[in-house]
Amino acid sequence: MFLSIFDIFKIGIGPSSSHTMGPMTAAAEFLQQLSGRVEKGEVHRLRSSLHGSLAFTGKGHATDRAVILGLAGFVPATLDPDQAERELARIQAEGTIFNDHLGRVQFAPDQDVIFDYDENLPGHANGMRLWAEDADGNTVFSEVYYSIGGGFVLTEAELEAQRAEEGDSAPEIPKEWHYPHPFIHAADMLEMGKRSGKTIAQMKYDNEVAHLSQEAVDQQIDDVIAAMDSCIDRGLTERGILPGGLDVKRRAADLHEKLIAERDSNLKQPHTANEWMSVYALAVNEENAAGGRVVTSPTNGAAGVVPAVLRYYREHCVGATQEGERDFLLTASAIGALIKLNASISGAEVGCQGEVGSASSMAAAGLCAALGGTNEQIENAAEIALEHHLGMTCDPVAGLVQVPCIERNAMGAIKAVSAASLALRGDGSHFMPLDNCIETMRQTGLDMSNRYKETSLGGLAVNLPEC
> Residue 170: is its pLDDT beyond 60?
no
Look at residue 1 in the predicted model and tell me its pLDDT. Answer: 62
Helix (H) or strand (E) holding 143: strand 139-149
Look at residue 378 in the predicted model and tell me its pLDDT. Answer: 98
pLDDT, tens only, 421-464: 999 999 999 999 999 999 999 999 999 999 999 999 999 999 98
pLDDT band at 337 (very low <50, low <70, confident <90, very high): very high
Picking from 143, 91, 86, 83, the residue whose alpha carbon sits closest to that of residue 112 is: 91
Domains of the chain plus CATH, in order, are: 16-165 (3.30.1330.90), 186-462 (1.10.4100)
pLDDT, tens only, 59-109: 889 999 999 999 999 999 888 878 988 999 999 999 999 999 999 999 999
pLDDT, tens only, 172-187: 555 555 899 999 999 9
Look at residue 295 in the predicted model and tell me its pLDDT. Answer: 96
Look at residue 409 in the predicted model and tell me its pLDDT. Answer: 98
DSSP-derived pairing of the beta strands 45-52 and 113-116: parallel
327 phi, psi to nearest 5 deg:
-60, -40
Alpha-carbon torsion (139, 140, 144, 145), positive or negative: negative
Average pLDDT estimate for 11-16: 92
